[in-house]
Structure 1
């Protein structure tokens, strides 16, 4: 008899992989932890191979588990698309979303992929601008939602994620030892730039702003080339970067708060609310994975 896979078990399996733990996955799929463990035992029995490591309830996948994850995502995506195709009440329309380019690079692939699978008839228009411009776009009605860096200009924004803001330098250079620190930071409206400069002024360290750009890729290039020091949120660290701390004379910075800003001058719609929920869920799941690592 051909092996039949249970979609509910596959959804739980994906939740474990996305959150990094059985406990957090149980909260996502609204099951007890023992029920989640039982589902995974039955899933392993169905495929006849272990999918998790042998160290208790660790979410570390075996080689067969990695193979299964790809198939599981495809099966769940096809199932959701099939149900949506016959749903007369399925959401449709257009949502205008704004985000700075560094958040777009790190967060949008997962957010838009999950949202598109659940709402294939919704068109999402994305605008990439610095937070200051996005705040104005939301206020004047040209954007429905914006993922922004929370600061004094965003008092009505909902903080959905917080992570450390870190000093970074090339792993192959020691420019932090120079008498005058070369910096690569955002433009003059960037709150991270303001925080970094105020922190260095407080320590008496001399510095010069060597590169200024709102493009995170350009700033990262300057860092990796060994030309400058910058500040990056934890999730934006790239291979080849080294974190500088108080031991090297770099003061602790206020954490980066990522927030969701909604247009307040007109009523929301079911489509806008659905995308907002996907953004919050995706950023929360990313926090769980980083914590698990």
Structure 2
């Protein structure tokens, strides 16, 4: 018979993994430190693996412990969601979700509709802002969680999806725009990743350009691109059907990773449920 995992042991293990201290874990789960030590030994016996390195300064995860932590957190999360979804009260309340405008246009309606079908009593308030502003809002606890962009694609465990940046214009090729030897650009603010990526790419390709229009509003950048007075840069999924994605002789642009960022290290059940929904749905859109 296969060994059965006790949810109480999993909860204690997750607390120990995050706190690095059995005494702190004991306070969190309402048990004595010796009882917590026994629980961890029982869990290791069930799995037949050593999960924690113990020392005078606390505990840290073994290689097996690091792998098991993801399973333990997932099991506890699904358990909590199931209990909440099928209890009399169900999952309810409100959260504040931050999202850059291009991701909001491309993905949010599907995310909201599918999550609302599962949890109709949940209210999601949306704040649209660039990544740099969302990070400030998260730090100030003015949003609960947010989709933010990162140029670093090496943190593959944290990235939910990647999106290519593309050049966008009103005509199929750059030559048809007839800009001459200096390409006018419509870009977001200078601290935005799109802005930096566009300028770096043009400089590396030794192409002459000028910033003709600046706007943190995607609608504003789209309007300028439609006018034919400049070309812009945006994520591919946000490009409207009436605009064109441009390539050669324009240089290639990088891909951005999309990451879920949180205001708190300890997440509420509602925040965890929405984050998990994003992780499952966003890669499929």
Q: Do they fold alike, i.e. is TM over 0.5? A: yes
TM-score (norm 1): 0.62
Residue equivalent to 2:276? 277
CA contact (8 A) 1:165 1:233 kept: yes
8 Å CA contact 1:182–1:227 kept in 2: the answer is: yes
Aligned to 2:194: 192
Q: Give 1:256 deviation, angstroms.
A: 2.2
Q: Which has the larger radius of gyration?
A: 2
Question: Aligned pair 1:96/2:96, yes or no?
Answer: yes
Would you say the 8 A contact 2:186–2:211 is kept in 1? yes
Q: Which of structure 1's runs of 4+ aligned residues deviate more than 4 A? A: none
User: 2:232 is matched with which residue?
Assistant: 230
Which residues of structure 1 form unaligned runs of 5+?
A: 1-83, 287-293
Is the 8 Å Cα contact of residues 130 and 216 (structure 2) preserved in structure 1? yes
**Superposition deviation, residue 282 in structure 1:** 2.2
CA offset digits 1:162-196 (Å, max 9, x no partner): 12211121126722652110100111111111011
Residue equivalent to 1:32: none
Alignment of 1:116-265 (within 5 A): 116-151=116-151, 158-171=158-171, 174-175=176-177, 178-245=180-247, 248-264=248-264
CA distance in 2, matches of 1:195, 1:283: 24
Residue of structure 2 in register with 1:291 after alignment: none
Post-superposition offset of 1:157: 9.5
Q: Alpha-carbon deviation of 1:148?
A: 1.1
Structure 2 residues not aligned, in runs of 5+: 1-83
Aligned residues of 2:159 and 2:258 also touching (Cα < 8 A): yes
The 8 Å contact of residues 157 and 261 in structure 1, kept in 2 or not, is answered as: no
TM-score by length of 2: 0.64
SS in 1 for 2:266: coil
Inter-partner Cα distance in structure 2 for 1:85 and 1:129:
31
> In the alignment, is the contact (CA less than 8 A) between 1:99 and 1:148 conserved in 2?
yes
Taking structure 1 as reference, are residues 255 and 85 closer, same or farther at Cα in structure 2, changes over 3 Å only?
A: closer
SS in 1 for 2:212: strand
